Structure 1
């Protein structure tokens, strides 16, 4: 009989996890060399020590050798990290040596990482050829005869295993619950008459999503009681339902590409009317993908009327191609644009866009 995984009382399998944890303590020391040109008088193989600093319960210092630590590195700056403490057991640590720019950021080409090293008494680790003096002196990293190096030290501690239960948190499904509320109409307390359709909704949801609906439904002159119906005469029922879907679920209903373009134009108008800024921006973004010779004039007029600056600029970009503009001018929508949005034509001319 095959082995089975242990299960909780409700039949669901237990979930657990373990981790191998390598504890470490990190710290860093910043060394600024002021008066660099004078430090070059220090002989090859001789060092200038930094002040001591503590990381991981150990005392460290850095040694700066402006003329290298040996004859082979005489043209370079050498840098070494030293463990100062007398320790019974080796201290395992890694380090990163980094030249800093004038903004205090690491210079990638002069950032070096060591592998973990077992330091013992007076044990050191570093770079004989950290940077060539000639390179440093010609770089922007030496300013006012000063430069800075950062030393990041990580001291390794005990390695141990930890076990923890895994709690699986599902993604938010709030939108689904509110969508179900809209479909079921349970608890609905206000009705809208859109063309020939009566649509029941929850005034608190609409008021929470739109300041216009809030004023309409919860303000001093609030409309709609359980016995009255609020008429909406300038919108199709399908558009109003799509608007409600967004207000309840923060999502738009799926549409075919051609249907989407027309629906989104109507939704943009509704979003502007009811002050739904996020929906308005979503509509702008979607319409930017539907600009062509057949729709450019209508979308540009829409963008102008409803102050959609991003969408308007996208139309201008499309019309900047002379062939596109000529094709749009032959479209019936351009006549509407000419009569109703004369300022747009002036902008086209000012941008050097003309047929």
Structure 2
């Protein structure tokens, strides 16, 4: 006889809300005085009332900053909450986080009703030269997250049947390794690889056109792959079948950087978009002075816009970083292979340092 099992659950519930505070005629607010503020309309998140305080001249005496704070307005209460305060770039419409408070206690009767609790936010001279202020207009965005009391359910009989995680990728990988039912052979750098046309066509529009379209590869017994190393093609096939990278000692380590470069090129060539994004993610995590120029050239050559922006932001992050990058061999190669990247880097640096 099976012993019945009862179960209860504890669920932590959070509620998130976003408020946007638009401020026009900023210059007319300057000079209000230290400690003087403009308060946004009241908004509610998680059953509590909140507002944004904006201090054009800062909180403390002789402050050279302006201050922004989230304020708990509900009276005689304690809330467990966090917030993310951002300024919106007026040229792109995208928010940039300037202060983040993790979940903590907000007490309406003390200074902890504010976040941040300190006075500093951003230097006024830096702010006024930044893209956050355009046409005397700025936008403050606040995302507030409120944690409610944990909810514990009533006990009930455990009726679930455990379902294992999907293993289709494992089965497809084994199908490739076993070479069962293969119907196409590729020759890559003197090595042969067998595969299944339908799987390749399902995962890559380029393979679909080559193997089922009117291209000559559709009628050939052996398809020749030029300008690709066998190890790279093997890794490409592995990803197509399993949606994962093959085993590497450290796929995000520098030792595999060249392989990831080649895989990105292969992914772009065969329009395996998810693999292309995986490679970009690994490359951006391993940016340093020595690798950034090579990665930037790769990003330009294969239309990786986000990776390109990250590389340019890295190069122009400070004058010392830029000087170190310029001294590398990769930068010298970049000047020859991708000179327009240097133009973008110069323009980005100029905008960042413009007073």
Counterpart check, 1:218 vs 2:206: no
User: What is aligned with 2:186?
Assistant: 192
Structure 1 residue 337: Cα displacement:
1.0
Deviations 1:234-270 (A, max 9, x none): 1101001111111111100232323321111111111
Write the mapping of 1:47-196 to structure 2, written as runs, cut at 5 A. Answer: 106-108=47-49, 109=74, 162-196=156-190
Counterpart check, 1:207 vs 2:204: no
Q: Assess if the C-alpha contact under 8 Å between 1:301 and 1:341 holds in 2.
A: yes
Aligned-residue CA RMSD (Å): 3.1
Match of 1:193, SS?
strand
Counterpart check, 1:233 vs 2:226: yes
Q: 1:294 to 1:102 in 2, by over 3 A?
A: closer
| Cα distance in structure 1, aligned partners of 2:255 and 2:303 | 23
User: What is aligned with 2:346?
Assistant: 349
User: What is aligned with 1:31?
Assistant: none
| Cα distance in structure 1, aligned partners of 2:279 and 2:304 | 10
| Cα distance in structure 1, aligned partners of 2:328 and 2:3 | 64
User: What is aligned with 1:249?
Assistant: 242
User: What is aligned with 1:260?
Assistant: 256
Q: Assess if the C-alpha contact under 8 Å between 1:293 and 1:327 holds in 2.
A: yes
| Cα distance in structure 1, aligned partners of 2:320 and 2:154 | 70
Q: 1:111 to 1:211 in 2, by over 3 A?
A: farther
Q: Assess if the C-alpha contact under 8 Å between 1:223 and 1:230 holds in 2.
A: yes
Deviations 1:201-240 (A, max 9, x none): 0111110001111111111336255x71101121101001
In structure 2, list runs of 5 or more residues that go unmatched. 10-40, 50-73, 78-152
Structure 1 residue 197: Cα displacement:
0.5
Deviations 1:277-335 (A, max 9, x none): 11111111100122122211111100111111111122112212322222222222222
| Cα distance in structure 2, aligned partners of 1:254 and 1:285 | 17
| Cα distance in structure 1, aligned partners of 2:3 and 2:302 | 53
In structure 1, list runs of 5 or more residues that go unmatched. 1-5, 7-13, 22-99, 113-158
User: What is aligned with 1:338?
Assistant: 335
Structure 1 residue 102: Cα displacement:
6.2
Counterpart check, 1:17 vs 2:14: no
Selected match of 2:272 from 267, 271, 276 = 276
| Cα distance in structure 2, aligned partners of 1:331 and 1:161 | 65
| Cα distance in structure 1, aligned partners of 2:334 and 2:199 | 37
| Cα distance in structure 2, aligned partners of 1:20 and 1:269 | 51
Q: How many residues align?
A: 219
Q: Which moved more, 1:343-352 or 1:228-237?
A: 343-352
Match of 2:182, SS?
coil
Q: Assess if the C-alpha contact under 8 Å between 1:191 and 1:200 holds in 2.
A: yes
